[in-house]
Amino acid sequence: MPQLSQKGQDMPQSPIRKLVPYAEAAEARGIQIHQLNIGQPDIKTPKHALDAVKNADIEVLSYSHSAGFLSYREKLAAYYGKQGIEITANDIIVSTGGSEALLFAMGSITDPGDEIIIPEPFYANYNGFATASGVTVKPVISSFESGFALPAIAEFEKEITPKTKAIVICNPGNPTGYLYSKEELDQLSELVKKHDLFLIADEVYREFAYDGLQHNSVLNQREIDEHTIMIDSVSKRFSMCGARIGCLVSRNKAFMATAMKFAQARLSPPTLAQIASEAALDTPQSYFDEVISEYVDRRDTLVAGLEAIPGVRVAKPKGAFYCIAELPVKNSDDFAQWLLESFEHNKKTVMVAPAAGFYSTPGEGLNQVRIAYVLKKEDLIEAVALLKEALSLYND
């Protein structure tokens, strides 16, 4: 039998999707599953975005520019301008989801054997992107007790070596919901300047900031323009996960020229999805006001419900639509699988994402789960009740 690559064998499974076969088997048994495991919002995609595709007068579905349609990039630049971020269309490369933007970034700044530093827990696919790029992730653990605030800069400096090329953050965070402050970004700015590193910020949840807090973009850290790379996506902002449209943004011209070569190699991002994404930028602020209000209500409902369960602790999120919860179990992987294989109450159960897969350090997060509060309030209340019942049975 031909030999598979070591890279392929090292590629980690998604902690979010690896339980899907068990969920499919449960559904085949007639079990209804409240899916709290994946960040797929149930908020409706803006109608005018979908209508733009339906009404597109296209005779030939052609390639776009490798950087994406100029009209879309100009409109994106205007959108960022309204957010207080001054960039031009030439600072943007449209990508096939935020995932491709991250791969372009890693491909442009790292060589096999290089290292990137990431505060953990972090979006699990960062591990996959690093493996695909031949890059080693050096984690710096953030604490549950602090709500997953930025670890001490001294902890980052301990991990910096001649092979270190970048620090990666997600702001607001997936899976933690933590929102970095301006002071924390200032600390990171000083660090990347001192050690001549890139600072990559995944800002796909920018709009989702709660409790009167404001999102702070790395692109507004103007003293480190040559160091900053921003990743963005329409997936969460407009509830358009299936569009697979993201973008890479940087004022570093040498970096963008290099990333463009990766963009040219994959030809272009999808045309119809760009049409929808460009139209989505016309979405009124009222849409976001309603969505934010809804997510705050869901967050508060979920957190209150979880905290009422004996032995459960929650790090209250400040943004995005995820939280990390500590459960009174030894291994959340086993518990999450048990929920799908062996537990049901009134023909219903819950699906969660074991949090160990969001850590790079072995043994961390074993009793934690990530919960996405992307279901309507009444479903969240029922899901929490099911989780409470499940924990009482599991621990008997």
Q: Calculate mean pLDDT across residues 90-112.
A: 98
- Report the chain's mean pLDDT, rounded to a whole number: 96
- The confidence score (pLDDT) of residue 200 equals 98
Q: Does the pLDDT at position 39 exceed 90?
A: no
Q: Which helix (H) or strand (E) holds 159?
A: helix 153-159
| Mean pLDDT calculated for residue range 8-24 | 86
pLDDT of residue 333: 94
Q: What is the pLDDT of residue 396?
A: 62
Interatomic CA distance for residues 4 and 346, integer angstroms: 45
Please state the rounded mean pLDDT for residues 292-314.
96
CATH number of the 47-280 domain: 3.40.640.10
Give the pLDDT mean for 234-247: 96
Let me know if 120 is exposed, middle or buried by CB neighbors in 10 A (0-12, 13-18, 19+): buried
Inform me whether the pLDDT recorded for 228 exceeds 80.
yes
Q: Which helix (H) or strand (E) holds 295?
A: helix 285-307
Average pLDDT score over residue span 149-153: 97
Q: Rounded distance, CA 184 to CA 151, Å?
A: 9
List the domain boundaries for the chain.
6-44+286-394, 47-280
How many of the other CB atoms lie within 10 Å of CB of 170?
A: 24
- Average pLDDT of the residues in 282-293: 94
pLDDT value for 108 = 98
> Which position has the higher pLDDT, 115 or 14?
115
Contacts made by residues 18-27, CB under 8 angstroms, sequence distance 24+: 18/357, 19/336, 19/337, 19/340, 19/351, 19/353, 22/337, 22/340, 22/341, 23/340, 23/351, 25/340, 25/341, 26/340, 26/341, 26/344, 26/349
Contact indicator for 277, 97 with CB cutoff of 8 Å: no
- Residue 22, classified by CB atoms within 10 Å of its CB into exposed (0-12), middle (13-18) or buried (19+), is middle
The CATH number corresponding to 6-44+286-394 among 3.90.1150.10, 3.40.640.10, 3.40.190.10, 1.20.1250.20 equals 3.90.1150.10
Please determine, for residue 38, whether its predicted confidence score (pLDDT) is greater than 90.
no
CA pair distance 9, 282, nearest whole angstrom: 44
pLDDT greater than 90 at residue 12: no
